[in-house]
Amino acid sequence: MLTSSALKHLTAVLQLLAGPQAVPRADQLAAVDAVLQPAARVLVVQATGWGKSAVYWAATTALRKAGGGTTLVISPLLALMRDQVTAAGKAGLKAESINSTNIDDWDPIFQALKNNQLDVLLVSPERLGNPAFAARLPQLLAQTSLIVIDEAHCISDWGFDFRPDYQRLARSLLAAPNAAVLATTATANERVTDDVRRQLGNGTAVFRGTLARTSLRLSVIPGLSAVERFAWIADALQTLPGSGIIYTLTVAEAERLAGYLRQCGFDVPAYTGQTETADRLHIEQQLRKNELKAVVATSALGMGYDKPDLGFCLHLGSPGTPVAYYQQIGRAGRALTHAEAILLPGSGDEAIWEYFATANIPSQENADRVLKSLSERPQSVIDLEGATAIRRGRLEALLRILAVDDAVEKDGSKWTATGRPWMLDSRKWDALLAGRREEADLMRNYAHGRGCLMAYLQQALSDPNPAPCGKCSVCTGQLPEPGLHPSASAINEARRYLRQQDVIFEPRKIWPKGCTRKGTISAKLSARAVAFADDPGWTEELEALARSGMTIVPSDLLDGAVSLLQRWKNDWEQRPALVMPAPAPDSEMQSNRQLASHISTIGRLPLFDAFSWQGPACPENQPSASHVKHLEKAIRLQKLTDLPAGPVLLCASTARTCWTMTLAAALLSEAGVKSVMAIVLHRQP
């Protein structure tokens, strides 16, 4: 039987949040009542906009009126925490947050908590890794009556946004003896739901409803090239209603698209994990006040961002799972009768899916390499990256997993091994990877429009009542403007813009330990590239270069290198005096020579082919020291009889680590060359 307290406090909170006409729904009321039971364990899986936050604000109000302690909300994103603090205030509650941006405020916040002056404390999951916070956790739990794990799919290995830090904190909090626990999410399929329920414990009450969003009109725009997708978005912004979010899969893509749209006359900033906190706050407020047509964002602007009147959500590229896609489009149309959710899939999406699917899958080999290196001495992530040759994103993910299992721990900026052995649970991680690839298959089918789009999302999310929506682009056969064909003028403008985005290299500064050369790198080197990673302005040309086995450089890429040099010359201290092909194994040397010859001819500069390569190419994924040692044996420079008066311009078709270019510049410097410039066709990630 439902308690009168649940009805009283839920009604009051809803009216504060939504107006005096608001009345509780039966499922909301049942959820609040379940949370108010002794030692409650409750999981709520409901669509965005259902009112999950009203459940925990109402439960908090009831518990506080009864003399209970503070509600502790674990929230995974700063943008989400800021909105939750505001929402709690609207619900009549005093709320504060503890996160990486307000460390100076921790002491007064904990004092207010000690004085019982806080109704709600929001904490980011990464705080458990901070010794100062971990020391205060027992005090915090002793004063807590309700623990809310928001976006609870993050604590599941199977969740689309699984975070080891979040799972680790959840484990600590679930051990609290007296507090009730409420976990909420809008994005959990049956497998994730079962996993979260298991973590919450026996007797967990689950409230799960339909995940269909009747306000959203879903569309897929297939078959566009990378340039055409940029142009399509520029055309679409002329007619799309209200303001919205345009999601990209990578930071680089977000910044490129935002720059292009600004050139087209739209006030559209980029919002990524690299955006400064103050800038994020400003952008969030601008969007909330409809001062921007759109924000181009990565998943950094996702879960919980509260703008109920967002009119559209576009995706430049498909997320790797239908669950992740559903979570992001859930930002739109929460308080509208109609909003657009449009997907523009790209040919390179699946390579990005595979990277993210495997990025946090550990291997015993990499774990052993990290633990061995840390057993010798504590090291920063940068030191470990050089010592192990594990790339930064994968290394950071591996360290978080090892930390959850207490094999490593962090002390300040450095990691150290605890001495506890670590063995890979192959069955668990193999099953997880297989599950992610199954979800990628589901997203592939969605992107190809193989059935009603809303029903497809419902099925992927294990919705109990999937049904055709009758309004998506598959059901109606109609696409939003500009349909399948963006305007020729927008295409030309997009191509022109994308081909003028130069990639500037950050030069190497210190030789890795164990090499012939020691200490600071003294050779003066500046370098730029025509294209980076899966650069949309050069997709076809980069694919053609790769298909040729790096033997034939497309003429457009050669011309792009010349255009880059023309733009670069405004920053030159002195014009290049000599052109050289950069050293490379035989498989790449032909394209290096083509580039050097083309620039020599156009620029009327002398060409000198002075480098040679002995032995095999460098093996992939070596530590920096091993990589440079290999290069020191492989690269030879002919004796220079007449030193050029100006810089030497090195020409390379590809570069990844930039150690080859760095060593070539060092050899030239040791031969008496005062400065070296380098131009690269493709800077690989």
> Got the DSSP string for 509-556?
-BPPTTSSS-SB--S-EEEEEEEETT-GGGHHHHHHHHHTTSS---HH
Do 201 and 247 reside in the same domain of the chain? no
Nearest-angstrom CA–CA distance, 169 and 344? 37
- The burial of 276, by beta-carbon neighbours within 10 Å (0-12 exposed, 13-18 middle, 19 or more buried), is given as exposed
Do 520 and 656 reside in the same domain of the chain? yes
Digit-coded pLDDT (tens) for 214-267: 889 999 999 999 999 999 999 999 999 899 999 998 898 999 999 999 999 999
> Is residue 162 predicted with pLDDT exceeding 60?
no
Q: Given 163, 183, 208, which residue is the final one in a domain?
A: 208
Q: Provide the CATH number for the domain around residue 91.
A: 3.40.50.300
Nearest-angstrom CA–CA distance, 337 and 242? 13
Do 65 and 100 reside in the same domain of the chain? yes
> Is residue 131 predicted with pLDDT exceeding 60?
yes
Q: Given 151, 173, 208, which residue is the final one in a domain?
A: 208
Backbone angles phi, psi at 391, to 5 degrees: -65, 155
Are 383 and 450 in contact by the 8 Å Cβ rule? The answer is no
Instruction: Please check whether residue 111 lies inside any domain of the structure.
Output: yes
Angle at 90 between CA 140 and CA 339, to 5 degrees: 115
Do 233 and 317 reside in the same domain of the chain? yes
Instruction: Please check whether residue 472 lies inside any domain of the structure.
Output: yes
Provide mean pLDDT across the span 614-628.
86
Do 294 and 388 reside in the same domain of the chain? no
Digit-coded pLDDT (tens) for 5-34: 889 999 999 999 888 888 898 999 999 999
Nearest-angstrom CA–CA distance, 57 and 207? 17
Do 203 and 257 reside in the same domain of the chain? no
For residue 215 the two structure tokens come to: 């306000």
Are 136 and 72 in contact by the 8 Å Cβ rule? The answer is no
Angle at 167 between CA 360 and CA 395, to 5 degrees: 25
Q: Where are the beta strands (DSSP E) in 361-431?
A: 408-411, 414-417
List CB contacts of 80: < 8 A, sequence separation 6 or more.
Answer: 150, 151, 303, 304, 305
Digit-coded pLDDT (tens) for 560-591: 999 999 999 989 989 999 999 999 998 899 99
Are 582 and 667 in contact by the 8 Å Cβ rule? The answer is no
**Considering the entire predicted model, what is its pTM?**
0.78
Q: Where are the alpha helices (DSSP H) in 423-522?
A: 426-447, 453-460, 473-476, 488-498
> Is residue 161 predicted with pLDDT exceeding 70?
no
Are 530 and 652 in contact by the 8 Å Cβ rule? The answer is no
- Domain count of the chain? 4
Instruction: Please check whether residue 607 lies inside any domain of the structure.
Output: yes
Instruction: Please check whether residue 356 lies inside any domain of the structure.
Output: no
607 DSSP 8-state letter = B
Q: Given 498, 519, 539, which residue is the final one in a domain?
A: 498
Which residue range is the domain that position 288 belongs to? 216-348+443-498
User: How many other β-carbons are positioned within 10 Å of the β-carbon of residue 136?
Assistant: 16
For residue 468 the two structure tokens come to: 């055709």
Task: Supply the pLDDT for residue 39.
Answer: 84
Instruction: Please check whether residue 434 lies inside any domain of the structure.
Output: no
Task: Supply the pLDDT for residue 677.
Answer: 96
The structure tokens 């090892």 sit at 402
Nearest-angstrom CA–CA distance, 298 and 317? 11
Do 27 and 124 reside in the same domain of the chain? yes
Confidence of residue 458 (pLDDT cuts 50, 70, 90): confident
Instruction: Please check whether residue 428 lies inside any domain of the structure.
Output: no
Q: Provide the CATH number for the domain around residue 389.
A: 1.10.10.10
Element at 15 (helix H, strand E): helix 4-18
Do 570 and 600 reside in the same domain of the chain? yes
Do 137 and 283 reside in the same domain of the chain? no
Q: Provide the CATH number for the domain around residue 589.
A: 3.40.50.2020
Are 121 and 113 in contact by the 8 Å Cβ rule? The answer is yes
> Is residue 159 predicted with pLDDT exceeding 80?
no
Do 489 and 510 reside in the same domain of the chain? no
Task: Supply the pLDDT for residue 1.
Answer: 42
Do 178 and 64 reside in the same domain of the chain? yes
Digit-coded pLDDT (tens) for 352-391: 778 777 877 899 999 999 999 999 999 999 889 878 878 8
Task: Quote the mean pLDDT of the chain.
Answer: 89
Instruction: Please check whether residue 357 lies inside any domain of the structure.
Output: no
Instruction: Please check whether residue 64 lies inside any domain of the structure.
Output: yes
Do 456 and 549 reside in the same domain of the chain? no
